[in-house]
Amino acid sequence: MNAIALLGRRVLERVQGIGVATVMLLRILCSMPTLLGVKLFIYQMYRVGVLSFLIIAVSGLFIGAVLGLQMYNILVTFGSEAMLGAAVALTLLRELAPVVAALLFAGRAGSALTAEIGLMKATEQLSSMEMIGVDPLKRVVSPRLWAGIISLPMLSVIFAAIGIMGGKMVGVDFLGADEGSYWSGIFSSTQFYKDVLNGTIIKSLVFALICTWIAVYQGYTCEPTSEGIATSTTRTVVYSSLCVLGFDFVLTAVMFGGV
């Protein structure tokens, strides 16, 4: 009986947490931006987006290179190395670019957002804002949420573009595949609406909302101690990664699986 009661309590706590997070998200989305909010948004775009560029670019280059190597070795067995460009581009645009970029974003930017907001809570900066009539959701959380939502789709497109160049460097320049066939395969097999818009941008928008929402919620509701901040930061990375992989299956099934 105690085990059943404990299970029920944990389920209710999770449902309550989802409800609180949803209310917080709606308050942020419904808040009117101000001139100061725009300045804070631009600053957070730099911290969340620009500072994540290097890890996104390097990861995209190496993943594209690995794709070019593996795909060439597979396709040359069947005499289909002319399809190397199409295979690399479709794999990156539909799956690897949005998913891997989101996972890297959660680990780099998401954890930083949680730790930063959690530290502000631990040092009573959020409470001080409330005491002087400043809404911390509008002043602190909202610019970070919108910066994450806008940044990740751009980072995913950059990831895909650099990955395609990495595949070209290995497949064409190193292994000797025909460069014309590589680029013509990309242009003939990819569609902007289906592959770039749906596969990369829309997926990334969903992942960006999920990752940033989890990050700011965990920071805003964490225990105001060093241990609480560490726990919330870990939860941000774990929850974001699981949600990205789960929603990736759902979105892929809807967009490309005929569901």
Give the pLDDT confidence of 145-174 residue by residue, as tens digits: 999 999 999 999 999 999 999 999 999 889
| Gap between the Cα atoms of 232 and 182, Å rounded | 45
| Gap between the Cα atoms of 73 and 75, Å rounded | 6
Question: Which is more confidently placed, 204 or 8?
Answer: 204
Specify the range with the lowest mean pLDDT, choosing from 32-36, 68-72, 106-110, 228-232. 32-36
3-state secondary structure at position 196: helix
pLDDT number for residue 209:
94
Q: Are 21 and 123 in contact (CB under 8 A)?
A: no
Give the pLDDT confidence of 72-109 residue by residue, as tens digits: 989 888 888 889 999 999 999 999 999 999 999 999 99
Give the pLDDT confidence of 11-31 residue by residue, as tens digits: 787 777 788 788 888 888 777
CA distances from 42 to 45, 128, 160, 189 (A): 5, 24, 24, 37
Question: Which is more confidently placed, 256 or 173?
Answer: 173
**In sequence order, what are the residues at sequence separation of 6 or more whose Cβ sits closer than 8 angstroms to the Cβ of residue 259?**
253
Task: Return the closest-CA partner of residue 215 out of 110, 103, 101.
Answer: 110
Specify the range with the lowest mean pLDDT, choosing from 1-5, 26-30, 48-52. 1-5
